[in-house]
Amino acid sequence: MATPGSALRPSHSTSSAPLLSRHPSLERAYSALTTAWREHILPQQALLDDPSGDAAAKLLRYIPDEELTEGLRRSWAAGGGARGGRGGGGPCVSVRRWDELVEEVEAKANQLRRAGNRGRAAALARGLADAVFAHAYPRLDVEVTKKMNHLLKAPFCVHPKTGRVCVPLDVESIWEFDPDAVPELGPLLSEARAAEAEGGAAKEDVWRATALGPHIAAWETNFLAPLARDCKSALASRAAKDAAEQRRGDISW
């Protein structure tokens, strides 16, 4: 699922596989996903660091050529792709091994095309893209979305099992977000009671004195304030339009 085309792109490219006949929205998504894939997901999750591990097995399962993937796993198990460039620099192990996988798939796909087997070549190309989408594309929780007894993840609602509070995300620092570090209801209540006892904040603002304070500020800055500006702008534009129409009506008399 990359940009349309009949061949895979070079292994160092952020778009390593064609989207073929996928929906245009997926084409647009892929350009963002491949950047996140190489810069964040592969390095942080170390998906290919252990070639015999579950993460590598799940990733390679998307490549419909067992001979190719098993050959790579044997090579990686023997240390292939584990060293960086000069002085040990360059991309991390998982990124280097992903690039090697793309190169192998590209070579095999070109071989299949020359032999007239375009269908299998396309399946190989699609497998690379499917692996990226499976690991990186945002998904909705179907059960949470369709059942009335589940909480939708609205800002500041509380998860009934963990007690963790759903907080708004700052897209500028999204890769630093840790879901295990969000505030929990129990400690928040203790902090709120302590803030009330100290009397340093109005009752309606007591939550700003807790661990929710930075998240409330981010919600106001990144969502509520822009929303208010947009609403005011829309109202001003509508008022100006109504005034202009009124003036035209007055002149017509």
Decide if pLDDT at 10 tops 50.
no
What are 54-59's contacts with CB under 8 Å, separation 24+? 59/131, 59/135
- pLDDT tens across 99-116, in order? 999 999 999 999 999 999
Residue 253 — very low, low, confident or very high, per pLDDT cuts 50/70/90? low
Q: What is the residue-averaged pLDDT of the chain?
A: 82
In the prediction, which pLDDT does 204 show? 74
Break the chain into its structural domains and give their ranges. 24-84+91-136, 157-251
d(CA 205, CA 225): 18
Residue 64 phi, psi (nearest 5) = -80, 55
Residue 252 — very low, low, confident or very high, per pLDDT cuts 50/70/90? low
Residue 228 — very low, low, confident or very high, per pLDDT cuts 50/70/90? very high
Q: Quick one: DSSP state of residue 209?
A: G
Residue 14 — very low, low, confident or very high, per pLDDT cuts 50/70/90? very low
- pLDDT tens across 47-99, in order? 999 999 999 999 999 999 999 999 999 999 988 766 544 334 467 999 999 99
- pLDDT tens across 179-225, in order? 889 999 999 999 998 888 887 667 778 888 899 999 999 899 989 99
d(CA 17, CA 63): 12
Decide if pLDDT at 45 tops 60.
yes
pTM of the model: 0.61
Decide if pLDDT at 127 tops 70.
yes
196, two tokens: 């009330």
Percent of the residues in the chain that have a pLDDT greater than 90, as a whole number: 47
